[in-house]
A and B are shown apart, each in its own frame.
Chain A
């Protein structure tokens, strides 16, 4: 299995631009999580899905952030418009029935 796949691995964009991060979960995993990691705030859960349905989005910082999971094989996290304080590493993780979350390699986002 290829594991959780995230793209792009690095993204540099200017303030105000739209950013879309992508995640392909491990086949058969029915939970998908989006996290953000920064030096100041550590690892934060933004939102998670179960069977493609958003269960808890209480960690999404602002309306500028949105996430979708149109099918079991794909999820996106979108920031529109982006701001410099959104600069962070964004991780996607997925989980099957054994409660173990498997993390992708992350997307390092830099907003200038």
Chain B
């Protein structure tokens, strides 16, 4: 079965500083990988996804993530954080029958706090 580990429960960065959120996955085949963001009281919004091809993927709001198969990682990065980026971030791996990525398994999330 697939699993996702987000080792950092809580991260605090200063506005304007760079950000990297860690994600490690376990899955026997080529994974479908996602990053979602959740603001308080809201649903989850997709930031970016990786299915195949270029291992560096760009997403919305200036975020990017790099897939590293050798490290089973899919870390999320942003060069300069804005106060509005404060939220909870979830990494997810997709798997399902015939590789349809139907079921998503989510990590436990990383709460990002941004100081001014």
Contact = CB atoms under 8 A, between A and B. Distances in A.
Interface in B22-68: 32, 34, 36, 42-46, 49, 51
B61 to A, nearest CB: 16
Interface of B is mostly: strand
23 contacts: A31-B102, A42-B107, A42-B108, A42-B109, A43-B44, A43-B90, A45-B103, A55-B97, A56-B102, A56-B103, A91-B43, A99-B32, A99-B49, A99-B51, A99-B100, A100-B34, A100-B46, A100-B49, A103-B43, A103-B45, A105-B43, A106-B42, A106-B43
B21 to A, nearest CB: 16
Contact of B46 (A102, A104, A105, A106): A102
A99 B43 contact: no
Given A99-B32, A99-B51, A91 B44 contact: yes
Interface of B: 32, 34, 36, 42-46, 49, 51, 90, 94, 97, 100-109
Nearest to B100: A99
Interface string A95-112: 100011111111000000
Interface of A: 4, 31, 33, 42-43, 45, 48, 50, 55-56, 91, 93, 95, 99-106
A48 B103 CA distance: 8
Nearest to A91: B43
A42 B103 contact: no
Contacts of B42: 105-106
Q: Report which residue of B51, B102, B106 has the largest number of chain A beta carbons within 10 angstroms of its beta carbon.
A: B102
Given A43-B90, A91-B43, A91-B44, A101 B103 contact: no
**6 A-B pairs with the lowest CB-CB distances in the bound complex, closest first:** A103-B43, A103-B44, A43-B106, A99-B101, A105-B43, A42-B108
A101 B36 CA distance: 10
Residue of B45, B51, B104 with most partner-chain A CB within 10 A: B104
A87 to B, nearest CB: 16
Contact of A45 (B45, B46, B51, B104): B104
Contact of A42 (B43, B101, B102, B106): B106
